[in-house]
C-alpha cells in the first residue's frame, strides 16, 4: 500500500524487523505481541516499534494485538540477501517520506544534498520529530536497501540507485 502522505518512521533497525519475521515464521505465522515480547525478553514498547516498522513496510499486520506474518514478509525471510535488499528498496520507495527524498535528490544535478539541507527538510516536513534521529534511520534503511548513501567526509546525502 503506497502512501504519498509524509509520515515519520520509527527509529528501528531493520535486523530487528527481520528477527520478528523469522520468529513469526517459527510460530506458524501468527502470535500475540505480548507473548512475543515476553518470550524474547523485549520490553513491549520496544517490540511495538519493531511491529510498527514491519507493518509500515507491509511485512506484517497487527489485528487485535496479534502480529501476523504477511505474504511479503514470508517472501522476505525466504530470500537471499540481495533479494531482501531489493524487496526493502521497493517498499521504501512506496513510503511518502522516502518518495519525497528521492524526488528531492533527483532534482539535484549530482543527485546529492548536504546533510544540513536534508535535516532542514525533515524539520519542516515533520516538526514534531527529531530530524537527527530520522536522518540516521533514513540513512541506515537506505544504505541497507542500496537506495541512499551518506558520505560522512563530505557531509553529503545521495541517491545510490536511480
- Mean pLDDT for 80-85 is 97
At residue 83, does pLDDT exceed 50?
yes
- Mean pLDDT for 69-98 is 97
Mean pLDDT of the chain: 95
CA 104, 108, 112, 118 dihedral sign is negative
pLDDT: which is higher, 109 or 5? 109
C-alpha cell at 158: 545521495
In this prediction, what percent of the chain has a pLDDT beyond 70?
96
Model's pTM, two decimal places?
0.92
How do the domains of the chain map onto residue ranges? 14-77, 81-159
The domain defined by 14-77 folds into: Arc Repressor Mutant, subunit A (1.10.10)
Locus of grid cell 527524498 = 101
Amino acid at each position: 500500500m503506497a502512501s504519498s502522505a509524509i509520515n515519520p518512521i520509527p527509529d528501528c533497525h531493520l535486523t530487528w524487523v527481520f528477527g520478528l519475521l523469522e520468529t513469526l515464521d517459527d510460530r506458524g505465522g501468527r502470535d500475540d505481541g505480548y507473548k512475543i515480547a515476553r518470550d524474547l525478553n523485549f520490553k513491549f514498547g520496544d517490540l511495538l516499534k519493531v511491529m510498527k516498522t514491519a507493518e509500515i513496510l507491509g511485512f506484517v499486520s497487527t489485528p487485535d494485538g496479534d502480529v501476523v506474518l504477511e505474504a511479503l514478509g514470508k517472501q522476505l525471510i525466504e530470500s537471499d540477501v540481495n533479494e531482501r535488499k531489493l524487496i526493502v528498496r521497493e517498499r521504501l520507495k512506496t513510503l511518502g517520506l522516502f518518495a519525497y527524498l528521492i524526488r528531492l535528490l533527483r532534482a539535484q544535478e549530482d543527485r546529492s544534498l548536504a546533510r544540513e539541507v536534508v535535516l532542514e527538510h525533515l524539520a519542516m516536513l515533520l516538526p514534531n520529530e527529531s530530524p537527527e534521529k530520522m536522518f540516521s534511520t533514513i540513512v541506515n534503511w537506505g544504505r541497507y536497501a542500496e537506495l541512499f548513501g551518506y558520505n560522512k567526509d563530505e557531509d553529503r546525502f545521495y541517491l545510490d540507485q536511480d
